A and B are shown apart, each in its own frame.
Chain A
Amino acid sequence: EVQLVESGGGLVQPGGSLRLSCAASGFTFSSYDMHWVRQATGKGLEWVSAIGTAGDTYYPGSVKGRFTISRENAKNSLYLQMNSLRAGDTAVYYCARGSSVNAFDIWGQGTMVTVSS
């Protein structure tokens, strides 16, 4: 079964750091672009970062310089290192697979990140 499972969410103070993980199974992980998408409670979806098959990385302005996406193909794992966290980063974080046509065809169940003192 093709699956993505996130972990690592939790409560963190403003200015703190957190590292999210996403375990992939059921497909050749190294062959796909991967993404992180977040969703604040009751709000819409926001693309947070992408990593290509060659390890190239991309971020929107809202997280650039604070978040780092990485992958470890030998472990079929995707990561998101989040530093200098703010209240506005509070959200459910999903990892998603970029399909061959670039839409996100597989999503994890999400992990909740709460930034609060």
Chain B
Amino acid sequence: EIVMTQSPATLSVSPGERATLSCRASQSVSSNLAWYQQKPGQAPRLLIYGASTRATGIPARFSGSGSGTEFTLTISSLQSEDFAVYYCQQYNNWPFFTFGPGTKVDIK
């Protein structure tokens, strides 16, 4: 099983600041990595797939990078609606998908 880890567990950021979230895979997942955003009481929403491609309707302030085992999600200028939990997911080992434990982005 491919194990995903995320850091930090919590990131405190002021509105308008940049946020950088990290995700690491226990073995290479190539670029088969997605990022999801989840707000309280809501289902997750796909943000990024293929490590760096924004899903439909996702604002340009969200960007993803990385390949292999190291990945980053960057939110260039945090808006109030961006405070949420972010999960990475590998889908290289289809269909045995695994998620990271999440990074909570809260207001500083």
Point out the residue from A45, A98, A105 that lies within 8 Å of B99, measured CB to CB: A45
Chain A positions 33 through 59: 1 when the CB is less than 8 Å from some CB of chain B, otherwise 0: 101000000001111001010000010
Cβ of B62 under 8 Å from chain A: no
- Specify the main secondary structure of chain B where it touches its partner: loop
Interface check A99, CB cutoff 8 A = yes
Q: Do the beta carbons of B99 and A47 come within 8 Å of each other?
A: yes
Contact of A104 with B87 at beta-carbon distance under 8 Å, contacts A50-B95, A58-B96, A60-B96 already known: no
Whether A108 sits at the interface, judged by CB under 8 Å, is: yes
Q: How large is the interface on A (under 10, 10 to 19, 20 to 34, 35 or more residues)?
A: 20 to 34
For residue A94, CB closer than 8 A to chain B, the reply is yes
**B87 and A44 contact, CB distance less than 8 A:** yes
Query: Which residues of A does B touch, CB under 8 Å?
Result: 33, 35, 44-47, 50, 52, 58, 60, 94, 98-99, 101-105, 107-110
Residues of B within 8 A of A (CB): 32, 34, 36, 42-46, 49-50, 53, 55-56, 87, 89, 91, 94-102
A-B pairs with lowest CB-CB distance, top 6: A103-B34, A103-B49, A50-B95, A107-B43, A45-B99, A102-B91
